[in-house]
Structure 1
Amino acid sequence: MVYEGARAITGPFLASLGASALLVGVVTGAGEAAALVLRLVSGPLADRSGRYWSLTIVGYALTAVCVPLMAVAPFLGGAGLAFGATMVLLERTGKAVRSPSKSALLAHAARAVGRGRGFAVHKALDQVGAFAGPLLVAGVIALTARTWAGLAVLAVPGAAAMALLVVVRRRVPDMTVFDEEPLEVRASAPIEHPTRLPRIFYVFAVSCAASTLGLMTFGIISFHLVEADLVRPAAVPLVYALAMAVEAVAALATGFAYDRVGARVLLALPVLVALVPLLAFADTLRLVLVGLVVWGLAVGIQDSTVKALVADLVPSGRLATAYGVFAAFQGAAALAGGALGGALYDNGVTDLVVVIGVCQAASLVLLTSVVRRRGAAG
């Protein structure tokens, strides 16, 4: 709720402080880069130090504090823009600090119910917050006509999140209690921290990166919707809401399926991604909407169920490192995919379909090898 609520108005808010379009792009782009790249540092740090809870709480605290503090910027005069931009960057840094540790803690906790289900429920709740945060901000701004008020009110869900974290930390200081091994075995066994992640993990990371490379961003799809005169700009958020709802359902469905049938449920991912450009860039609204549903299905799997397999592929003591490295692969592929998609769209949809199809064929081959090796190991 907190960070999605802020992201919904970050651009207009910085502009109200005097930022140019270029500066808004630089600040938000640098923030997203920091949120991904810095995980290469925070992930190994968590595994080496064992301070998963500390890094998780510090990361969430940065978001819970920095977002409401953005509301102070309009009252700082000439220093307001610099202060607001700094808060944006610190909030994204908080995302990088907490994400690997949070995912590692969740991977342990989810063992009690199934990792597929655990990551699926996490993603579904994440989507609830992604809806509620912007709606809360929009409602407050509509009532007060003050953008800063919409940011200030996010202190409430931020405080609630921090309180819940403290409660859970006190009740379950060691999430490994949910692992399968008996407590006495874990207590007597030495803690191992392998220096390298397994090769199969990197094969899986490359496979998912190939899928991400071909998974068009909603920005390009929405550009097509308006450019082809299929919907009016004001209706684009409603279309996006449809895709987000599908994403939440897909995360739940595939997560539950993962616990039942295993990693082979992920073989649907490259197929879905390959279908997106064929449908989402069609000339009729009906086909485009079908394409958006397929896009939502793919994103739902990509953002949730794949994390369950990451946890099953790496040693317990290297989970945070693995999630940091995996995020770096995904971030680099997303950046390249966005540029590739935009360039190929301008040259014609046919080229886009062919290139993405090739990427997904490669992804499917790699993923199949991972699933087979995982099945043989299991």
Structure 2
Amino acid sequence: MQEDRPPSGAARRQTAFRIILILGVVSLLGDIVSNGARSVTGPYLLTLGGSAAIVGLVAGIGEFTGYGLRALTGLYSDQTRHYWRTIYIGYGLLIAIPFLAVAATWEAAAVLIITERVGKAIRAPARDTIISLASFRVGRGWGVGVHKALDQVGAIIGPLVLSAAVLWGAGYEAGFALLTLPIALLFVFLFIGKHTAPIPGVFERNEMERNIDPRRFVPFATFLFLSMAGFASFPLISYHIKVQGLLTDPQIPLVYALAMTVSTAIALLIGWTYDRVGTRALLFIPCVNLAIPFLAFSGSVPLVIAGTAIWGVGIGLHETVMRAALADRTTTDVRGQAFGLIYAVYGAGWFLGSTVMGILYEVSVTHIIGFVAIAEVLAVVAYLWMRRGLGGRKEMRT
């Protein structure tokens, strides 16, 4: 019967791009919430009595939790194929952010910040698996880049909401409370997405070996760990801006919004570039990371703003290239697990870097620069190991 025939290639491409756009809007709304809060985490913890070491530790634990737990949630999504259910639960934990409005101590705020990161850990492998499956139909790098660009639009809007709340005298608390609205709208788009592609696996089929090849995975994971260890966290950058009196409280989220604007453009550019040069695009990451501390931790306002903009370049590079490269290295049957594992490595590197840099900040910025230089040089070595391990083979693109 006509209605029982599988959809044509063109129809699948249209549906695939539609689901990328829908999940992009979901991520946009989610990032209004998470990045709105993230843009003021450093200054807010400072007002509650936190130190630079505390800010670095909370940021590190949050990122480690948000990435480390993905090894388990990715495995769960592969075994159950309950991608949408997992995404629903993960986004539900965004409700922790509005509760920051009533946090009375830095310890309470830290718990809420980490809770939101747990939600990120739950939803990300399932969401990224769906994006990777759909992007197979439209170009791996381009599909991931479009999603990441939409995601970053939310990361621009969120800080503007917080900045406006502080500028108008309502304070951080009112800004956090306003973030309840995008959470409600987010679930409307999730409902639409689930009914647009209830079984995402139809977008991509392949005949690759159904396991994670250590020869391809370990060098790639080592590169990501080292490059993320040398990637400064924005909470520590914003803490530096605050304690040095370089910008006012309302201006700090605006600088973050600038970084996210840069990141949006970079996500599209690097996604397009990846489809043409493959994993060679990864080499941009350590180069960008190395430039950040020289500028972002300086005492000059123009240099700090430039450093934060370059930090935004790093954000756009990291997640776009990493997600596309990983999808090209893994079979669909273990992709959720692969995303979970690589995110755990990614988060471990960020945890190490954030914690060490927070401690080193109390000593001197020069020590931070030295630490970043060592981490990124080692990352380049790991990249060469990864390229040598390919032995001239192309990435898996079926």
Q: Name the TM-score class by shorter chain.
A: 0.7 to 0.9
Q: 1:81: Cα distance to partner?
A: 11
**Counterpart contact for 1:198–1:313, Cα < 8 Å:** no
Q: 1:71: Cα distance to partner?
A: 8.7
Q: 2:78 aligns with which of 47, 61, 64?
A: 47
Question: How far apart are the structure 2 equivalents of 1:15 and 1:256?
Answer: 40
Q: Does 1:156 align with 2:181?
A: yes
Q: Which residue is 1:232 aligned to?
A: 247
Q: Which residue is 1:113 aligned to?
A: 138
Alpha-carbon RMSD: 3.9
Q: Summarize the Cα distance change of 1:342–1:256 in structure 2 as closer, same or farther, 3 Å threshold.
A: same
- Match of 1:55, SS state, is helix
- Match of 1:232, SS state, is coil
Q: 1:246 aligns with which of 262, 266, 282?
A: 262
Q: Which residue is 2:348 aligned to?
A: 332
More moved, 335-344 vs 157-166? 335-344
Q: 1:45: Cα distance to partner?
A: 1.0
Q: Does 1:314 align with 2:330?
A: yes
Question: How far apart are the structure 1 equivalents of 2:359 and 2:113?
Answer: 29
The percent of aligned pairs where both chains have the same amino acid is 33
Read off the aligned partner of 1:96 and give its amino acid letter.
A
Q: Which residue is 1:298 aligned to?
A: 314
Q: 1:264: Cα distance to partner?
A: 0.9
**Counterpart contact for 1:213–1:336, Cα < 8 Å:** yes
Q: Which residue is 2:23 aligned to?
A: none
1:162-177 → structure 2 map (5 Å cutoff):
162-177=187-202
Read off the aligned partner of 1:258 and give its amino acid letter.
Y
Q: Summarize the Cα distance change of 1:12–1:219 in structure 2 as closer, same or farther, 3 Å threshold.
A: closer
Question: How far apart are the structure 2 equivalents of 1:366 and 1:331?
Answer: 17
Question: How far apart are the structure 1 equivalents of 2:296 and 2:106?
Answer: 38
Superposed CA offset, 1:28-62 (max 9, x none): 87655532332222111111112122211222233
1:197-276 → structure 2 map (5 Å cutoff):
197-225=213-241, 231-234=246-249, 235-276=251-292
**Counterpart contact for 1:6–1:67, Cα < 8 Å:** yes
Superposed CA offset, 1:304-360 (max 9, x none): 221110111122111111111112112221121123334445555555444433322
Q: Summarize the Cα distance change of 1:297–1:151 in structure 2 as closer, same or farther, 3 Å threshold.
A: closer
Q: Does 1:61 align with 2:120?
A: no
Q: Which residue is 2:393 aligned to?
A: 376
**Counterpart contact for 1:73–1:83, Cα < 8 Å:** no
Q: 1:34 aligns with which of 51, 60, 65?
A: 65
Q: 1:365 aligns with which of 381, 391, 394?
A: 381
The structure having more radius of gyration, on CA atoms, is 1
More moved, 125-134 vs 254-263? 125-134
**Counterpart contact for 1:246–1:293, Cα < 8 Å:** yes
**Counterpart contact for 2:295–2:304, Cα < 8 Å:** yes
Q: Summarize the Cα distance change of 1:157–1:239 in structure 2 as closer, same or farther, 3 Å threshold.
A: closer
**Counterpart contact for 1:192–1:317, Cα < 8 Å:** no
Q: Summarize the Cα distance change of 1:107–1:4 in structure 2 as closer, same or farther, 3 Å threshold.
A: same
Read off the aligned partner of 2:198 and give its amino acid letter.
P
**Counterpart contact for 1:35–1:95, Cα < 8 Å:** yes
Q: Summarize the Cα distance change of 1:158–1:111 in structure 2 as closer, same or farther, 3 Å threshold.
A: same
Q: Does 1:102 align with 2:127?
A: yes
- Match of 2:328, SS state, is helix
**Counterpart contact for 1:267–1:368, Cα < 8 Å:** no
Scaled by the length of structure 1, the TM-score of the pair is: 0.78
- Match of 2:198, SS state, is coil
Read off the aligned partner of 1:337 and give its amino acid letter.
G
Question: How far apart are the structure 1 equivalents of 2:295 and 2:337?
Answer: 37
Paired residues, what number? 359
- Match of 1:376, SS state, is coil
1:67-86 → structure 2 map (5 Å cutoff):
67=97, 70=99
Superposed CA offset, 1:85-121 (max 9, x none): 8766554332221111111111111112212122222
**Counterpart contact for 1:73–1:81, Cα < 8 Å:** no
The structure, 1 or 2, with the larger RCO (C-alpha pairs under 8 Å, 6+ apart) is 2
**Counterpart contact for 1:71–1:149, Cα < 8 Å:** no
- Match of 1:331, SS state, is helix
Q: Summarize the Cα distance change of 1:5–1:356 in structure 2 as closer, same or farther, 3 Å threshold.
A: closer
Question: How far apart are the structure 1 equivalents of 2:171 and 2:301?
Answer: 36
**Counterpart contact for 2:263–2:314, Cα < 8 Å:** yes
Question: How far apart are the structure 2 equivalents of 1:236 and 1:150?
Answer: 14
Question: How far apart are the structure 2 equivalents of 1:285 and 1:142?
Answer: 19
Q: 1:292: Cα distance to partner?
A: 3.4
Read off the aligned partner of 1:121 and give its amino acid letter.
V
